[in-house]
């Protein structure tokens, strides 16, 4: 099935999303990043032979988000879930913590340094994922992204808990 896009080019459409569709047909920016070795998606797709659905593996969520794709753009996902367990099949947390033990990227205003891959275990940190700091499709500086993410909760740039609020 095909339609004509706003630029007159023929655009393939389907009645429903499936894992074997060409994601690049609608997700051009993501497809470009997947070709750039400087971003995580590009590195994994070129050197590890990943496909889009290697990381974006939630078929039920993707099916729902794309809905009926006949002639209309699918709903945008606010944030696609990429399971941290998938990342950990190659990047196990113990090795990452060891590799970044001397990192000073996360140093607060009181000179407290936190290893970005060995944050204190607590309820607030449990929900964090790899993508909170590591952009899959962007070429963001991971050091800046990590600091910005931490400051989202540690807004006084103090990593020690229970020091800001009574």
At 108-149, the pLDDT tens digits run 999 999 999 999 888 888 888 888 898 888 888 889 999 999
Q: CA 76, CA 63: separation in Å to the nearest integer?
A: 12
Q: How confident is the model over 32-42, as a mean pLDDT? A: 85
Sign for the CA dihedral angle at 149, 155, 159, 161 comes to: negative
C-alpha pair distances (Å), 12 with each of 22, 54, 110, 130, 144: 9, 23, 56, 33, 39
Q: What is the mean pLDDT of residues 8-12?
A: 55
How high is the pLDDT of residue 58? 84
14 — pLDDT class (breaks 50, 70, 90): very low
Half-sphere exposure (Cβ direction) of 20: Cα atoms closer than 13 Å: 0
User: pLDDT tens digits, residue range 131-142?
Assistant: 889 888 888 888
Determine if the pTM surpasses 0.85.
no
């Amino acid at each position: 099935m095909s339609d004509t896009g706003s630029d007159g080019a023929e655009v393939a459409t389907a009645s429903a999303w499936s894992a074997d569709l060409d994601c690049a047909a609608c997700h051009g920016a993501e497809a470009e990043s997947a070709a750039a070795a400087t971003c995580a998606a590009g590195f994994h797709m070129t050197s590890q032979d990943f496909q889009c659905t290697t990381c974006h593996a939630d078929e039920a969520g993707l099916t729902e988000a794309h809905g009926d794709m006949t002639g209309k753009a699918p709903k945008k996902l606010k944030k696609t879930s990429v399971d941290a367990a998938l990342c950990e099949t190659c990047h196990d947390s113990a090795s990452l913590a060891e590799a970044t033990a001397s990192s000073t990227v996360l140093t607060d205003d009181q000179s407290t340094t936190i290893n970005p891959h060995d944050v204190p275990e607590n309820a607030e940190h449990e929900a964090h994922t790899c993508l909170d700091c590591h952009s899959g499709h962007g070429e963001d500086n991971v050091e800046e992204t990590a600091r910005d993410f931490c400051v989202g909760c540690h807004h006084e740039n103090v990593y020690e808990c229970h020091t800001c609020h009574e």
